Amino acid sequence: VQNYRITLLPGDGIGPEIMAVAVDVLKVVGKQLNLSFEFQEALIGGAAIDATGSPLPAATLDICRNSDAVLLAAIGGYKWDSLPRHLRPETGLLGLRSGLGLFANLRPAKILPQLIDASSLKREVVEGVDIMVVRELTGGVYFGEPKGIFTTETGEKRGVNTMAYTESEIDRIGRVAFETAQKRGGKVCSVDKANVLEVSQLWRDRITALAADYSNIELSHMYVDNAAMQLVRCPKQFDTILTSNLFGDILSDAAAMLTGSIGMLPSASLGADGAGVFEPVHGSAPDIAGQDKANPLAQVLSAAMMLRYGLSQPVAADKIEQAVLKVLDQGDRTGDIMSDGMNLLGCRAMGDSLIQAL
Amino acid sequence: VQNYRITLLPGDGIGPEIMAVAVDVLKVVGKQLNLSFEFQEALIGGAAIDATGSPLPAATLDICRNSDAVLLAAIGGYKWDSLPRHLRPETGLLGLRSGLGLFANLRPAKILPQLIDASSLKREVVEGVDIMVVRELTGGVYFGEPKGIFTTETGEKRGVNTMAYTESEIDRIGRVAFETAQKRGGKVCSVDKANVLEVSQLWRDRITALAADYSNIELSHMYVDNAAMQLVRCPKQFDTILTSNLFGDILSDAAAMLTGSIGMLPSASLGADGAGVFEPVHGSAPDIAGQDKANPLAQVLSAAMMLRYGLSQPVAADKIEQAVLKVLDQGDRTGDIMSDGMNLLGCRAMGDSLIQAL
Ligand SMILES: CC(C)[C@H](C(=O)O)[C@@H](O)C(=O)O
Ligand SMILES: CC(C)[C@H](C(=O)O)[C@@H](O)C(=O)O
């Protein structure tokens, strides 16, 4: 029996409900495939602020560092929105990313045929869309120094952040993108703003040089404004999108929304070694928290990504992904993806249906 | 007779062709309404690089400064794409914006009923969309110092740009947005990334404070990643979007593409006083340059924006906008907006049709 230590970070809002479903699913798949999971729960986000005064207690980071993978649900809520920055749930998430060195964020946006009508785009525009956004996650304007709100010589305030990348930061995320594309459609589109920004110019030069090591990959470059347009106009043109932290934040959300069902989308955040973090793209949905209405499928698919990318257990990952497709084929739907003639289920009932399907 | 000095910057690619149409239209409307235009042509972009070695010759900036308004077509092309930054067409455009102090960029994205099927989004999602993006244009990461590619202590290169705003820069663009919204739907959505960036935190604080002066405006705030999603999901929720230089670059292009016909979209760039610059949202389309295939309507609508926002001649602006709607109603189309059963026209023929319609 292969044994894995998994840290669970249920976080805020609907987090605990959807996490419970993912844990049940992992247990069943584990039994079937002879994998054993040792789950440890830890605090992050608003829940951690309320309990400890910090959005990322040192104990949480320790537990994560000593585990094989981290499954995160969602953080944040109105309640903590007006706290000072160092006490905000988001600050805990950023601390987790940098604390674990998770420089590579993989965000798939794939249209499921069962849910294609949920898209706000025409069927023929989104049919078959299957994009992987590879976003740099520990650099760029999110972490660059200097940053802060300073007072100028004339006495007025000036808000400052620094958008910066070193060559080695660019190279390591570039390699992740090229290697990801090798397992997919073989195309990388690197997105930057090299016609205006020096940091993007360095990015473009390095990625271009790096491409020499990946002769089987078709590399293209696109400006970020054009990429935002092309995602709307013709998303099928993209296979793997490689981009920086801020541009990836914006474009991966736009790509996610092309599917019309962000309650379905998982993500993976990986470092050079050590535990990765796996979490849904959607937020903590405080408005429906505790009402058994949440869609647990993105959380369950995040557990599948954990098995695939974090624990190298692709068979287990496949099993979970098949189960998700099966319940969708059966017509099972939570409220966010409900349509005429389908079976409306709550969060727990969707979990039960998944277990049946397994 | 009211006399106006207009600087024409035809630029590159299809620029000269579409500019010629706009000038013809302005002459006809001028005659009808007793306005006289004194046109002066000047060099910018690739054309200026070829002729003078600089993408924005000092003479061009002088002529613009001494005119009542500047009508720009489009700049850039493959030919100049690999020149060093200070010799790139885009650098000329950025120099024009900062040289004329054009801090406010107005970018309308309005769905025309005649062209609604050109959108990649479903009819019911985009019907009635009418968004004005108010983008800050002379600050933020486009102009912040320090910037450049530096060598770190360890000997590797680091690309750096600085994203910064002062209170007064935020206030003046904020006022433009509030005043714009007063003439429209009365709603401002300010877009930032205040959960991560200090510069956005200052932005949000100032815009919130400023709202006290505009009690008739409904102000909301949205994170940029969510705004990119919401533009795809439900663009009708937006009236006026207020945002920074970089976010405005990305979001205004996404908003433009919702219409499916960026060959139709004008823009205005305005300063505190002095000449504004009016130009289409689309680029120089070098692939179809010189073939009489370009769509001149965005350029013509830019001339209308010039009349409305630059010269305070709303009646003349209305006349031009009516003529554009009329030719569309007649079924006149250039190749980019062509559909079954319509009349395919070249650039010049579309111009002739507009003159007829006037
Ligand atoms: C919550 C926020 C800090 C975060 C980010 O900007 O990275 C989120 O938007 C995301 O994309 O994971
Ligand atoms: C050409 C480029 C410098 C410019 C910008 O980024 O502002 C363009 O994309 C625009 O939006 O006008």
Task: Provide CB contacts within 8 A for A76, sequence distance 6+.
Answer: A11, A12, A13, A45, A46, A88, A89, A90, A283, A284, A286
- Residue B88 annotated as binding? yes
Ligand index nearest the alpha carbon of residue B225: 1
Give the closest of A144, A157, A262 to B167, CB-based: A157
Ligand index nearest the alpha carbon of residue A11: 1
Contact A137, A103 (CB under 8 A): yes
Contact B254, A232 (CB under 8 A): yes
Give the closest of A122, A142, A167 to B122, CB-based: A122
Measured CA distances, B226 to A249, A318, B76, B116, B273 (Å): 9, 31, 31, 25, 34
Measured CA distances, B336 to A356, B56, B88, B295, B344 (Å): 52, 30, 27, 7, 10
B229 lines ligand 1 (CB under 6 A): no
Could you say which of B217, B245, B264 is where a domain stops?
A: B264
Instruction: Show the tokens assigned to A119.
Output: 């898209």
- Do A234 and A119 lie in a common domain? yes
Please tell me which residue of chain A has the smallest CA distance to B95. Answer: A196
pLDDT digits (tens, 9 = 90+) for A149-159: 999 999 999 99
- Do B293 and B322 lie in a common domain? yes
Atom number of ligand 2 nearest to Cα B248: 11
Q: How far apart are CA A296 and CA A320, in angstroms?
A: 13
Q: Which residue has the higher pLDDT, B127 or A86?
A: B127
Q: How far apart are CA A340 and CA B347, in angstroms?
A: 47
Give A-chain residues touching B85 at CB under 8 angstroms: 198, 201
A93 lines ligand 1 (CB under 6 A): yes
Q: How far apart are CA B305 and CA B277, in angstroms?
A: 10
Atom number of ligand 2 nearest to Cα B93: 3
Could you say which of B264, B290, B305 is where a domain stops?
A: B264
- Do B78 and B134 lie in a common domain? no
Read off the pLDDT band of A3 (50, 70, 90).
very high
Q: How far apart are CA B51 and CA A220, in angstroms?
A: 31
Instruction: Show the tokens assigned to A293.
Output: 């209405």
CA–centroid distance, A319 to ligand 1, in Å, is: 29
Using omega within 30 degrees of 0 as the cis cutoff, is the peptide bond preceding A84 cis? no
Contact B7, B275 (CB under 8 A): yes
Ligand index nearest the alpha carbon of residue B105: 2
- Do B245 and B296 lie in a common domain? no
A74 lines ligand 1 (CB under 6 A): no
- Do B120 and B204 lie in a common domain? yes
Task: Provide CB contacts within 8 A for B65, sequence distance 6+.
Answer: B99, B100, B274, B275
- Is A193 labeled as catalytic in the residue annotation? yes
Is B159's CB within 8 Å of A198's CB? Answer: yes
- Do B122 and B233 lie in a common domain? yes
Question: Number of structural domains, chain B?
Answer: 2
Is A232's CB within 8 Å of B120's CB? Answer: yes
Could you say which of B264, B280, B302 is where a domain stops?
A: B264
Q: Left, alpha or beta for A279 (phi > 0: left; psi -120 to 50: alpha)? A: beta
Give A-chain residues touching B195 at CB under 8 angstroms: 88, 90
A225 lines ligand 2 (CB under 6 A): yes
Instruction: Show the tokens assigned to B1.
Output: 């007779």
pLDDT tens, residue order, chain B (358 aa):
899 999 999 999 999 999 999 999 999 999 999 999 999 999 999 999 999 999 999 999 999 999 999 999 999 998 998 888 889 999 999 999 999 999 999 999 999 999 999 999 999 999 999 999 999 999 999 999 999 999 999 999 999 999 999 999 999 999 999 999 999 999 999 999 999 999 999 999 999 999 999 999 999 999 999 999 999 999 999 999 999 999 999 999 999 999 999 999 999 999 999 999 999 999 999 999 999 999 999 999 999 999 999 999 999 999 999 999 999 999 999 999 999 999 999 999 999 999 999 9
Positions of B annotated as catalytic residues are 142, 193, 225, 249, 253
- Do A90 and A180 lie in a common domain? no
Find the CATH number of the domain harbouring A178.
3.40.718.10
Question: How far, in whole angstroms, is CA B214 from its chain's centroid?
Answer: 26
Structural domain containing residue A300: 1-103+271-358
Q: CA-based diameter of chain B, in Å? A: 69
Stated pTM of the model = 0.97
- Residue B287 annotated as binding? yes
Q: How far apart are CA A218 and CA A221, in angstroms?
A: 10
**Known binding-site residue numbers of A for Mg(2+):** 225, 249, 253
Give A-chain residues touching B229 at CB under 8 angstroms: 253-254, 256-257, 262
Mean pLDDT, range A160-189, rounded to an integer: 98
- Do B213 and B289 lie in a common domain? no
Coil/strand/helix, residue B48: helix
Q: How far is A356 from chain B (nearest CA, A)?
A: 33
pLDDT digits (tens, 9 = 90+) for A290-344: 999 999 999 999 999 999 999 999 999 999 999 999 999 999 999 999 999 999 9
Residue nearest to atom 10 of ligand 2 (CA): B249
- Do A159 and A279 lie in a common domain? no
Q: Can you give the pLDDT at residue A296? A: 98
Q: How far apart are CA A21 and CA A9, in angstroms?
A: 13
Q: Can you give the pLDDT at residue A199? A: 98
Q: Can you give the pLDDT at residue B82? A: 85
Strands B157-166 vs B276-280: parallel, antiparallel or unpaired: unpaired
Give B-chain residues touching A167 at CB under 8 angstroms: 156-158
| Active-site hit among A171, A253, A326, A352 | A253
Instruction: Show the tokens assigned to A245.
Output: 């932290």
Q: For the beta carbon of residue A342, count every other beta carbon within 10 angstroms.
A: 15
CA–centroid distance, A81 to ligand 1, in Å, is: 14
Instruction: Show the tokens assigned to B127.
Output: 């019907």
Q: Can you give the pLDDT at residue A82? A: 85
Measured CA distances, A113 to A117, A128, B319 (Å): 8, 8, 47
The values of phi and psi at residue A117, to 5°, are: -75, -10
Give the helix/strand (H/E) hosting B249: helix B245-258
Contact B262, B298 (CB under 8 A): yes
Ligand 1 pocket test, candidate residues A12, A44, A94, most atoms within 8 A of CB:
A94
Atom number of ligand 2 nearest to Cα B252: 11
Residue nearest to atom 11 of ligand 2 (CA): B249
Ligand 2 pocket test, candidate residues B90, B133, B277, most atoms within 8 A of CB:
B90
- Do A202 and A281 lie in a common domain? no
Residue nearest to atom 7 of ligand 1 (CA): A249
- Is A249 labeled as catalytic in the residue annotation? yes
Residue A322, amino acid: Q
A266 lies in some domain:
no
Q: Which residues of B177-207 are buried (b: 16+ CB within 10 A; e: fewer)?
A: bbebbeeeeeebbbbbbbbbbbbbbbbbbbb
The values of phi and psi at residue B274, to 5°, are: 80, -175
Coil/strand/helix, residue A224: helix
Q: Can you give the pLDDT at residue B1? A: 81
Read off the pLDDT band of A259 (50, 70, 90).
very high
A39 lies in some domain:
yes
Residue of A138, A141, A156 for testing the chain B interface, max B β-carbons within 10 Å: A141
- Do B124 and B80 lie in a common domain? no
- Do B112 and B228 lie in a common domain? yes
Q: How far apart are CA A212 and CA A210, in angstroms?
A: 5
| Active-site hit among A193, A239, A319, A336 | A193
Q: Which of B27, B164, B142 is CA-nearest to residue A156?
A: B164
Contact A44, A95 (CB under 8 A): no
Q: How far apart are CA B227 and CA B233, in angstroms?
A: 10
Q: How far apart are CA B136 and CA B241, in angstroms?
A: 11
Q: How far apart are CA B112 and CA B109, in angstroms?
A: 10
Please tell me which residue of chain B has the smallest CA distance to A117. Answer: B122
Atom number of ligand 2 nearest to Cα B279: 12
pLDDT above 90: residue A194:
yes
Q: From edge to edge, which strands make up the β-sheet containing A144-151?
A: A144-151, A157-166, B157-166, B144-151
Coil/strand/helix, residue A6: strand
Q: Which residues pair with B158 in a beta bridge?
A: A166, B150
Using omega within 30 degrees of 0 as the cis cutoff, is the peptide bond preceding A146 cis? yes
Give the closest of B141, B200, B229 to A254, CB-based: B229
Ligand index nearest the alpha carbon of residue A90: 1
B225 lines ligand 1 (CB under 6 A): yes
Token look-up 């951690």 returns A48
